[in-house]
Amino acid sequence: MTTPAPDWTASQVLAYLESLNNADNIAGMARFGIVTDRAIGVSNNELRKIARQIKRNHQRALALFDSGVREARLLASYTAEPRKLSIETARAWTNTFNSWEIVDGVSDLFVDAGVWRDLIPEFAADEREFVRRTAFAMIVWVSVHLKKEPDETVLSYLPLIAEHASDPRNFVKKAVNWALRSIGKRNFACNGPALELAQRLASSSDKTERWNGKDAVRELTSPAVMAKLQAISDKTFQATK
């Protein structure tokens, strides 16, 4: 089988993906809530490998995403050039989101592209389930990966989490919870305010808020997280000596 190469067009990439069709994988994906009506059945690990082979090409990525094929859309998120991704394209892509998997994959790109500051509040205010999820998935990526971003930035999203912690829709609820836990695991400075919100939610009379709060409290006070935060603190201290 031909090895994917950087000079491949979107059509060549799509044809290669089609050659990897795997019905068993598609059935397995469906069990995890992945939308499979346009899926080929290629695993994420394999897609990451293909992305490394074909490398970044923004115009090709745009064409791959527009194909609507699950695997092509994920490849688009892996191989688009962040500096070339416009906020208009980010909005257009998000308008088509219909799967948590695509949301979580593409949200990383939106943060790398620098459009997250405008889009997080905009998408959180959107009533569509997967659009709102995108806002909180971006908060996760910012909290975990933008180490140089001031803690004040991620902490500024706690009111947004509180505002939408009562949204009972599965893919929003889990993303809100994910964002809260991610902020709380950033460092000790963020853990305190995140835990305070989690405890407040845990005592709420609203069922969804209560679930979000209790789940976050459990993780943010766990020995494993405390040890991780201490390690982060120790590393930061050593770097400042």
User: For the segment 157-204, what is each residue's pLDDT rounded down to a tens digit?
Assistant: 999 999 999 999 999 999 999 999 999 999 999 999 999 999 999 999
- What pLDDT shows up at residue 241? 65
Are 143 and 227 in a shared domain? yes
**Structural domain contains residue 2:** yes
- What pLDDT shows up at residue 36? 81
Distant-in-sequence contacts of 150-156, Cβ < 8 A, 24+ apart? 151/186, 151/187, 151/189, 151/190, 154/183, 154/186, 154/190, 155/183, 155/190, 155/193, 155/194
- Read off the tokens for 185: 């695991």
Are 120 and 218 in a shared domain? yes
Indicate left, alpha or beta for 150 from its phi (over 0: left) and psi (-120 to 50: alpha): beta
Are 58 and 103 in a shared domain? no
- What pLDDT shows up at residue 27? 87
pTM of the model: 0.94
- What pLDDT shows up at residue 137? 98
**Structural domain contains residue 237:** yes
Dihedral pair phi/psi, residue 205, rounded to 5°: -85, -10
Are 192 and 134 in a shared domain? yes
Mean pLDDT by 10 residues, the chain (241 residues): 91 96 87 85 94 98 97 97 98 96 96 98 98 98 96 98 98 98 98 98 98 98 97 82 65
Are 55 and 116 in a shared domain? no
Q: Which domain holds residue 181?
A: 98-241
| Cα 104 versus chain centre, distance | 3
- What pLDDT shows up at residue 214? 98
- What pLDDT shows up at residue 1? 61
- What pLDDT shows up at residue 128? 97
Looking at the 3D structure of the chain, how many domains does it have? Answer: 2
Are 121 and 76 in a shared domain? no
99 in Cβ contact with 129 (< 8 Å): no
Other Cβ atoms less than 10 A from the Cβ of 33: the count is 12
**Structural domain contains residue 212:** yes
- What pLDDT shows up at residue 237? 67
**Structural domain contains residue 224:** yes
90 in Cβ contact with 134 (< 8 Å): no
- What pLDDT shows up at residue 29? 85
Question: Which of 29, 48, 80 is the last residue before a domain boundary?
Answer: 80
Question: Which of 46, 80, 114 is the last residue before a domain boundary?
Answer: 80
CATH code of 114's domain:
1.25.10.10
Are 215 and 152 in a shared domain? yes
Residue 68 has what DSSP assignment?
-
